[in-house]
Structure 1
Amino acid sequence: MSAYNVGTLGDSGESVQQYLLRSVYRLQAAVLERLTAELPVYRKLPTEQLNGDVARMVRRGITDFAGVLASGSMPGAEQLAQLTSSATRRAEEGLPAEAIVCAYFLGARLCLDDVTAAARPEDLPAVTATYSLLLGYLQHVTTAVTAGYLQQLSTTVGERHSARQLLLTALREGRVDEGAAREAGLTLPPGYLVLALAIGAHADEHAPGVDTNAAAQRKLRRLRTELALHSRGAALSSLTTAGGLVLLPSDTSPCELGPTHWEDTAQLLTRLQRACGATVLAAAVPAVPGDVARACPIATELVHIATTSARPPGLYRLEDLALEYQLSRPGPARAHVARLLDPLDAHADLLLTLTAFLRHDLDRRATARALNVHPNTVLYRLRKIAGLTGLDASRPTDLPTIHAALTCRTVQDLPDPSSG
């Protein structure tokens, strides 16, 4: 008996590896039966695949472990490469990674239970040695399988991401490309809701000693995850940690969007904020696929207007910002409205307070917390602003004018977006 031989079990004098090799086809059938009984995903596989590739891998696993028992050496590079290749194919076929790994452990448990059924008390050393080698074998196997699966998954995700970015580019250029949609694994919907997002900073991005970039990327990842869950992976996006564009597919054409749809989208914004732990302001423009190219710059301009006019986080449509949008165009009206807040130029604290008050939805206490001042200080400054400008931010009738003035002050030096 070699130094690695785990010995024999029972009265037959047959070694464990001999038993496994002699019983390989019976054990293969038992493992396949157990797989289909306990793991639903295997019941859905085509019979050809189950009795072909899957059966071969079960048989190979049994014979490979028999080799481990005989030599005490774990599978070599060539054997592990075969496992990696098999896992790559399973990933291509869409079999979940957990189902593949679970199958190895389930098969190992069944085979070992079968082997040790005839064990006697004096066979304990042999059983212990077998278990030890089996754990080492499973460690090597699952490592190889996971590596193959993740490699293929990375390739697939990369290809899918590239295809979706090509589709997004086509739509933003005014091209309705059904072929690009198929390459991306999507079907063009009747319409899109073009969302331009402005994403605020997470608290961790300002925390001392915290990696700012890591915190920002984590925020963005959580937002993307929530967006993917909402759209079942069908949304197209070009996002940074500060914001960007999202094409949210709609089952109805733009002209058929009703209050329920807008309410659902507003609730999505709330979930996005909760998921990423930061404020999210969005401007929305509905469009058919062929009109996305026109809608994108409008949505981008609207989110800029909403931000510069100190709107609180939430969802905004063109009708919500119609006054500011129109006044953002060059002309005497824009210049006049921009000058309404000129008296505040010499009082930076007043302009800062006004902007914070509007962004916190006219909440004096929230504004005070944001500015790290007493609420009475906020009240004092608002009264001073009213005295200097004649515009009272606590008076609803003055709010549209104040929002418009903030917008005009920001955009008056920018080029006319309607010009060539």
Structure 2
Amino acid sequence: MGVLRSTLRAWAEAMAWHYAREIPDYARLDRALLQRDVAVVSYEYLLALEGEAEARVENVALAVGQRRQRQGISLPALLRAYRLWAKDALEALRSEAPGHLAELAPKVAEILDRVSEASARGYQLALEGVLPQGPLTGLAVGLKHAQTIALAPRYLGLPPERMAYHQAPFGPLLFLAAPLAEVEEGLKALARGCAACLWVAEGANLLELQGDLEEALALGHGLDLPPGVYPVRLLWPLAMALESPKGRDRLLRLLAPLGPHPELLGTLEAYLQARLSLKGAARRLGLHPNTVLYRLHRVEELTGLRLQRVEDLCLASMALQVRRLMGGPR
């Protein structure tokens, strides 16, 4: 079965579009969400045929039930999608591994029963909409990496009863009944495993967390940040700057002298992304560290910034973010 991994993944993607063709509820899902979330879930269930994902398949299915309810998928539509999954899985085995069909067909039926039952319970949990009392951690990811939320149960080690899903306009949100310290390492592993940018917030008020996370998705999608876990508070100064036309114009004016020198803008951005490491910026740009240092001196000469000062570094970072969001060239 190991040789079928690539084939199973291709079939999982095909299953996602099969759902859209056959089930109106799925056809209404955002295209990126359908392609990534649904395909990843289908693949997780296919891996369970090999026994690899068997231990976690019910937790994944519970979380799926919560998400589908929040996405407006009816429970009958979800259960019908599972039946289509089983039909497509058997067709894939019949086509690609006929010698394994007799062995694996009963297992397909067993997994169908398990995930259908678990997702129905998850669907009911979402309808109740209750998380245990205590500290909450929220995370958000853009639609481009919607599969990250689908894979969260694999990394976080929390029971589905401590997780609640919400579909926001710019991407899915996941709320965890746990302090950030308890799940932070799992979130970092999740971000690395999915090469995704995760926005996180911690607090006790679900509505406040939701507002902060949705704002982070709206602002952060244009920043092209490297994969990682980012607190939403990093975007608060940017949000304030964008709300003030005067503040926005001042930040853009700060970088205006660099307009004719895109290589200087790129060097400044690489330096900030490398956390003020000359060697890190040089690796990103394919340059010698001395070249990076020379360019940074030119940035200081042209803008008046002093990159040794924390205040000026903050201004430079905000100005670059505003410039990116306002549609300026990289």
- TM-score, normalised relative to structure 2: 0.55
1:249 aligned residue (159, 176, 194):
176
Q: Percent identity?
A: 26
Distance in 1, matches of 2:316 and 2:235, equals 13
Aligned match for 1:381, one of 289, 292, 295: 295
Shift of 1:295: 3.8
Q: 2 CA distance for matches of 1:287 and 1:312?
A: 26
Q: Given that residues 335 and 408 in structure 1 are in contact (C-alpha distance below 8 angstroms), is that contact kept between their aligned partners in structure 2?
A: no
**Greater C-alpha Rg:** 1
Q: Which residue identity does 2:231 align to in structure 1?
A: Y
In structure 2, what residue type is equivalent to 1:189? Answer: P
SS of residue matched to 1:300: helix
Write the deviation string for residues 129-158 of structure 1: whole angstroms up to 9, x where unpaired.
xxxxxxxxxx99854531320232353465
Where does 1:157-196 land on structure 2 (aligned, <5 Å)?
159=120, 167=126, 177-178=127-128, 181=129, 187-190=130-133, 192-196=136-140
More helix by share: 2
1:160-184 superposed Cα distances (whole Å, 9 cap, x missing partner): 67667xx4xxxxxxxxx52xx4xxx
Query: Would you say how many aligned residue pairs link Structure 1 and Structure 2?
Result: 228
CA distance in 2 between partners of 1:265 and 1:322 (Å): 23
Distance change (3 Å), C-alpha of 1:368 and 1:269: farther
For residues 123 and 242 of structure 2, what CA distance do their matches in structure 1 show?
36
Give the drift of 1:311. Answer: 8.6
The residue type equivalent to 2:188 in the other structure is T
CA-atom RMSD in angstroms: 4.0
Aligned residue in 1 for 2:265: 351
Preserved CA contact (<8 Å) 1:97 1:149: no
Q: Aligned in 2, Cα 1:197/1:376: closer, same or farther, shift over 3 Å?
A: farther
d(CA) in 1 for partners of 2:218 and 2:204? 16
For residue 302 of structure 1, report the CA deviation from its aligned partner: 5.6
- The within-5 A match list for 1:311-322 is 313-318=228-233, 320-322=234-236
The one of 214, 219, 227 equivalent to 1:297 is 214
Out of 267, 272, 286, the position equivalent to 2:185 is: 267
Q: How many angstroms apart in 1 are the aligned matches of 2:132 and 2:184? A: 20
Task: Determine the C-alpha separation between the residues in 1 that align with 2:174 and 2:149.
Answer: 17
Please state if 1:409 is matched with 2:323. Answer: yes
Matched, 1:145 2:106: yes
The whole-number CA distance in structure 2 between the counterparts of 1:231 and 1:97 is: 17
Tell me how far 1:402 sits from its aligned partner. Answer: 0.8
Offset, 1:246: 3.0
Partner-residue secondary structure (3-state), 1:328? helix
CA distance in 1: counterparts of 2:151 and 2:235, whole angstroms? 25
Contact 1:360 1:367 survives alignment (8 Å): yes
CA distance in 2, matches of 1:144, 1:407: 53
Gaps of 5+ in 1: 1-95, 99-138, 168-176, 182-186, 201-215, 252-260, 415-420
Q: 1:376 to 1:194 in 2, by over 3 A?
A: same
Query: Unpaired segments of 5 or more residues in structure 2?
Result: 1-52, 56-99
Alpha-carbon distance, 1:225 to partner: 4.6
CA distance in 2, matches of 1:156, 1:340: 58
